[in-house]
Amino acid sequence: MANNSNKIGVVGTGVIGNGWIARFLAKGYNVVAFDPAEGAEGNTRRLMERIWPTLEDMGVAQEASMDKLKFVNTIKETVEDAAYVQENVPERENLKKEVLQEIDEHLKPEGIIGSSTSGITATTLQEGLRNPERLIVAHPFNPVYILPLVEVVGGEKTKKTVIEQAKALFTEVDMKPLVIHQEIEGHVADRLMEALWREALHIVNDGVATTDEVDRAITYGAGLRWALMGPFMTFHMAGGDAGMRHMLDQFGPALKLPWTKLVAPELTEDLKERVIEGCESSGQGKTVAELEEKRNEFLVKQLELVSDYWPLFNKTE
């Protein structure tokens, strides 16, 4: 990082905090961690032992070592001289603010602070910080040591260079930073997942299908495509040769149907054009047939891979 320190501070070592620790350790960083919970250090170290072979499969840095993890007893020791500090305490605004203020107090000015929050905006978390310009939301996905996505969101006071530096750090540890330019609850990925999740709960609640059936409705179908293509490119492909343009003409009216409990936006000309142009641009001028060939090549391999994992433990269907 720009400030030349190889030390990462991690405050809060639950599922997410531990995921960050593993990712930074695997890339050779020194990690200093703090969590007030009883037995936190033991839990983290046991997890690292357990997943280290996985990290090695993905490729660890030459200088990487579990020994580069140190637990300390105060936030002050955690963040002193750190280049970057990741906060992962429970999702309560007051608690987060308190912890962030303490981090801010002891972290050198050029250090950057990221919060793993999914539901609180950076602008809210900046309130009361002495150096609010170095705070970002850095929202990762479980398991953090494998999934590359991290949503990066600045608050009103965040400096642009801080976002650039954070992006560079995340890219260095093999992540795919996605900068979100508007602060909304749940950012982008969790909103999408939450919509799916709520609909899934409705389906179970209404007695239409069991949790297992809902899960299979995903894993055997759309779930196979989503590692390659999100909802827009997926529907671009479903439109035949004319792609999204045809798709919106054909299925646009379905937006008015009660296909989910989620009310759709009005499909205005402006929205239509934005969606069509977005898909065409993502498609990089390739025809749907060309995209299809790539997609099929992927899906065949994907199917080969997952067939070894369905069912997870030789469950009889």
Q: Which is nearer to a copy of itself, 36 or 59 (CB)?
A: 59
Q: Does 6 bind a copy of itself (CB under 8 A)?
A: no
Q: Which is nearer to a copy of itself, 110 or 183 (CB)?
A: 183
Site for a copy of itself in 68-87 (CB under 8 A): none
Q: Which is nearer to a copy of itself, 72 or 149 (CB)?
A: 149
The annotated binding site is made up of: 12-17
Name the minimum Å distance from CB 130 to a copy of itself: 29
Pairing of strands 135-140, 149-154: antiparallel
The residues, ordered by sequence, that sit 6+ positions from 62 with a Cβ below 8 Å of its Cβ are 28
Q: Does 130 bind a copy of itself (CB under 8 A)?
A: no
Q: Does 2 bind a copy of itself (CB under 8 A)?
A: no
The residues, ordered by sequence, that sit 6+ positions from 52 with a Cβ below 8 Å of its Cβ are 66
Q: Does 298 bind a copy of itself (CB under 8 A)?
A: yes
Using CB under 8 A, pick the residue from 58, 61, 95, 168 that binds a copy of itself.
58
How many residues belong to the site for a copy of itself (CB under 8 A)?
Answer: 120
Which value, in Å, is the radius of gyration of the alpha carbons in the chain? 22
How many CA within 13 A on the CB side of residue 139? 24
Handedness of CA 267, 271, 273, 276 (dihedral sign): negative
Q: Are 169 and 152 a contacting pair, CB within 8 Å?
A: no
Query: Residue length, the chain?
Result: 317
Site for a copy of itself in 19-48 (CB under 8 A): none
Site for a copy of itself in 87-126 (CB under 8 A): 90-91, 118-119
Q: Quickly count: other Cβ atoms within 10 Å of residue 305's Cβ.
A: 10
Site for a copy of itself in 214-253 (CB under 8 A): 214-233, 235, 237-238, 240, 250
